[in-house]
Amino acid sequence: SFSMRDRGNVASLIMTALQGEMEYATGVLKQLLSDLIDRNLESKNHPKLLLRRTESVAEKMLTNWFTFLLYKFLKVICLSRGWGCGTHCCPPAFIFAFSHPLCLDIKKAPQ
């Protein structure tokens, strides 16, 4: 049996290996998630708990899949708002892009 850390590492390695073949990776991920859903229904677990704990390789692969697919989108947003350093986004720009809206929401919260 794999530990939680091992499952995360396996998922990351699989997605890294399939990074250039995202259509194939999507197919593999769809099949793994389908199997996970079937197992979840057979064990009569509550459906709301399915993707909460990210205990399976499929759930961890899903997180990596979103990361790979959102990267280009975030890069375009970052550059279109002038947060880049020439032709690429700087890490501080990404941090600002995510933290600034969060800080604004926190300031709006009741004291």
pLDDT in tens, 60-98: 999 889 888 887 777 777 667 666 565 566 666 666 666
What value does the mean pLDDT take over residues 22-30? 93
The whole-model pTM stands at: 0.65
- Strand, helix or coil for residue 88: strand
Whether residue 12 contacts residue 62, with contact meaning beta carbons closer than 8 Å, is answered with no
> 4 versus 17: which is more confidently predicted?
17
